[in-house]
Every structure is written in C-alpha cells, then in structure tokens.
C-alpha cells in the first residue's frame, strides 16, 4: 500500500495546529498531529521540506521501518522539532493501518484494557472564591479529577491561571497572539508560602476523595521542590508535576528523599532517553510525554512499556496545544496499555471542533476514543482554510529583579 501523497496543513481555529495528512494509492488517508506550540512553522517546514519527499512511494504498512528510517537518517538525534515530525508520520500511518483493518486503532494496540479513560481538567482562580467556582464548574462538566492552579499574592501574572479568551470553552492558553512574548513575574518564596494553604482550603471545601493535581511548571530548585512536596503531603495530591527543570534528571533524586508526594514529569521530553535515570531509579510516578512530541504511538508504547517494569504509569500530556488528532492518538494508547494512570483533558474550543471532527467522547469523567476505524478524527480542509496561521508566543517569566526564570 504505497504512499501517494503527503501534505502539511497549518490552521488556526482559535489557536495554531499543524497536521500531516498522508494519502495512500488506494485513497486511504491518515492524520498526524505535529503541533509544537509557539514554534509551529519549524515543524511544518521540517515535514514539507525534509520528510514528505522521503515518504512518497514508501509502503504505508511499514510503520516501525519508517520510524527508524526517519530517526536514523536525520542523524541529528532527538529534539522537539524532529520528534514531532516523526510523531506526525507515525500516527498518520497508524491511522491508515487501522482504517485499512476496519478497526479503531486501540484494537491494533492489543484491545481495550479498561472501559474508559479517567481524565483531569484544569481549575484555576485568582483567589479562593474564583478557584472554588472553577472547581465546581469542572465537576459540573463531569470531571472527577482536577488540577489546581492559583494566583499568588504579590505576583501579577502566573502560569496556569485562566484569562478569559474569545471562543475558549474554558479559558487557559499560554500562547498569546502578541508580537512579542508576554512577560510574567515570579517569586518562589511567595509561591511556597501560599500554595499549601490553597490546598488545605480546597480539601476543606471539596473533601478528601477528589483527586487533586498541581503543576509546578519547572520553576523550583530541587530543595524548593522537596519542601513543597513535603508541605503538600497532608492534602494527598494525585501528583505534583514538573516540580524542577526537567532536563536535570538527578534533581528528582533529592526531591524523592524528602517527600512521598507522587511526581509526574516529561511534557517537554521527546524520547525514552530523557527518562533513563528517572525510570530506572524510580524517581517519578507518572510519564507526562505527549504522543505528539515523543515520536508517536510507536515510541510512546516502548517508553510506557519500559515505565511499566517499574510500576510507573502514564499521564499523557493533553493541553489544547495538542490537536484533536494528537488527543485521539493518546486516547487509543491510554485504552490499550496496562499501566494507564490518568489523561489530561482541557477540551478544545468550539472553533477547533469545527475544523477537527472527533468521535471521542467524555462521559462522567471518562474519555473514550470511540469505535470509528482509525483514530476517529477527520479534518475539514475547507473549514481549516478559513483560519490561516497567526503567530503566537509562549510567555517568558522574570524574577522581581528582572532575571529571566522558567515560566
């Protein structure tokens, strides 16, 4: 089954998405997500200029071989641009294979290991009343696990706190359509003082059972993260995410020595190699990689199988900068693997849903990829063409004295 065409579609229904569409000689199409938030056009160019010419005429069924061919022929290993491009090809080929088989993709991955996929949503607020309202709104939407982010007194703009944006069903998007990145500010001591009280208030209001999560977004040093993990222990977090800058794997050893709060890491990683120490030494509890940024289903399956040997579970990245195509790929994998943990689900805007027609469902806290052959997502190209690319940047963060900091 030869690949007859491959094309990159960049569209911006509310936010930017990059999609690879592969068509076989007998007219089967497959989609892959290649969206790298804030750096979208680099992956579009990598695919169009360097990958599409290599795909034409290849056998669409040879997924592993194509993965290895693209990875090894690039020579320059790893990196988000390369791995997002390879992921898009990989997922599009899995979509094609499953459509050709007449089955939803999860069936080709071994079939369902569970009935539904527990999802967590993002609650946030500038103060406790606003945060409680946001938690209630998420409970009303059906979420049974909730991430908690709040403003910190003395800091003007903080990652993860919703700003109301046009067309967003709920309202957090770090990339802004501004000519330069927006600048946020940061003070770790103020954050460390404030956050435990927020979790105490949330537990008092919503009780002990609700699974609660928090994202530290790489902003702490190892010893600061250790303190936060310890201070949050009474509130029984499902996980503390990205507590330290993720590229320093050794940092997590120190954090682990001080706290039993479960740790999740990896949304900025893109290969199994980034987890070598973390998994082998059991320094984390959840793997946060996105299918879209980590080489697709083929590579994620290997990564999660490695993690499973150490009782480490999945927590696949699913913000709105992962397109519905990337989300669907994650859901098929979530349903099939044994060591599933939780799935992030922010929900796309109605505008995004106009362009990407999805068959996955969200009922009573659980996602399901649906029973359509393939991934179950179709791209309406006419609708996509109505929303041309708009440059958008992720923020930068500065300490009070002006020093650039992780945001």
Q: Which residues are known to be catalytic?
A: 159, 217
DSSP line for 143-197: -SSEEEEE--TT-S--TT-----TT-SS---S-B-SSSPPEEEE-HHHHHHHHHH
Residues found near ligand GCO in the complex (CB under 6 A): 37, 174, 215, 217, 267, 317, 319, 321, 344, 394
Site residue total, Mg ion (CB under 5 A): 2
Binding mask 214-233 for Mg ion (x = CB under 5 A): -x------------------
| C-alpha distances in Å from residue 248, one per residue of 78, 154, 345 | 16, 29, 27
Stretch that binds Mg ion, among 119-127, 210-218, 298-306, 360-368 (CB under 5 A): 210-218
Spatial contact of 6 and 23, defined as CB atoms under 8 Å apart: yes
Q: How many residues does the chain have?
A: 407
Q: Which is nearer to ligand GCO, 307 or 342 (CB)?
A: 342
**Nearest-approach distance from CB 397 to Mg ion, in angstroms:** 14
Stretch that binds Mg ion, among 97-105, 177-185, 265-273, 362-370 (CB under 5 A): 265-273
Round to whole Å and give the CA distance between 302 and 184: 37
Which residues in 266-295 contact Mg ion (CB under 5 A)? Answer: 267
Round to whole Å and give the CA distance between 205 and 66: 52
Q: Which is nearer to Mg ion, 96 or 251 (CB)?
A: 251
DSSP state of 49: I
Q: Which is nearer to ligand GCO, 177 or 280 (CB)?
A: 177
Of 333, 335, 313, which is closest to residue 262 (Cα–Cα)?
A: 313
Residue 173 in the binding site for Mg ion (CB under 5 A)? no
Stretch that binds Mg ion, among 59-67, 259-267, 272-280, 376-384 (CB under 5 A): 259-267
**Nearest-approach distance from CB 330 to ligand GCO, in angstroms:** 12
Round to whole Å and give the CA distance between 296 and 326: 9
Residue with tokens 């709040």: 150
Q: Which is nearer to Mg ion, 30 or 266 (CB)?
A: 266
Residue 344 in the binding site for Mg ion (CB under 5 A)? no
Residues of the shown chain interacting with Mg ion in the complex, contacts defined by CB under 5 A: 215, 267
């Amino acid at each position: 089954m030869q690949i007859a065409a491959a094309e990159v579609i960049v569209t911006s229904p509310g936010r930017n998405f990059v999609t690879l569409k592969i068509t076989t000689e007998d007219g089967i199409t497959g989609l892959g997500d290649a969206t790298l938030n804030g750096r979208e056009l680099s992956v579009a160019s990598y695919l169009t200029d360097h990958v599409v010419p290599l795909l034409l005429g290849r056998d669409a069924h040879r997924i592993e071989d194509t993965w290895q061919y693209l990875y090894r022929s690039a020579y320059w290993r790893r990196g988000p641009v390369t791995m997002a491009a390879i992921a898009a090809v990989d997922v599009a080929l899995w979509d094609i294979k499953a459509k050709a088989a007449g089955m939803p993709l999860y069936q080709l991955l071994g079939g369902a290991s569970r009935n539904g996929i527990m999802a967590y949503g993002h609650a946030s607020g500038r103060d406790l009343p606003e945060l409680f309202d946001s938690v209630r709104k998420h409970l009303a939407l059906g979420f049974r696990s909730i991430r908690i982010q709040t403003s910190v007194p003395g800091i003007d703009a903080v990652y993860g706190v919703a700003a109301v944006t046009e067309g967003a069903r709920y309202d957090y998007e770090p990339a802004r359509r501004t000519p330069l990145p927006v600048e946020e500010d940061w003070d770790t001591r103020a954050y460390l003082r404030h956050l435990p009280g927020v979790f105490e208030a949330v537990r008092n209001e919503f009780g002990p059972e609700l699974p609660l999560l928090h994202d530290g977004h790489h902003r702490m040093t190892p010893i600061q993260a250790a303190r936060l993990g310890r201070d949050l222990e009474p509130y029984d977090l499902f996980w503390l995410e990205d507590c330290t800058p993720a590229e320093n794997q050794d940092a997590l050893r120190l954090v682990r020595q001080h706290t039993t709060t479960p740790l999740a890491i990896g949304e900025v990683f893109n290969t199994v190699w980034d987890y070598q120490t973390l998994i082998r030494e059991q320094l984390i509890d959840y793997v946060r990689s996105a299918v879209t940024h980590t080489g697709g289903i083929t590579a994620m399956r290997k990564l999660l199988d490695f993690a499973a040997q150490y009782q480490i579970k999945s927590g696949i990245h699913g913000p709105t900068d992962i397109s519905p195509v990337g989300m669907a790929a994650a859901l098929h994998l979530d349903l099939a693997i044994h060591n599933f943990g939780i799935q992030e689900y922010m929900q796309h805007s109605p505008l995004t849903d106009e362009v990407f027609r999805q068959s996955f469902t969200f009922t009573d806290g659980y996602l399901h990829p649906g029973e359509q052959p393939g991934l179950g997502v179709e791209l309406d190209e006419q609708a996509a063409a109505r929303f041309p690319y708009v440059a958008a940047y992720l923020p930068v963060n500065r300490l009070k004295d002006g020093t650039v900091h992780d945001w």
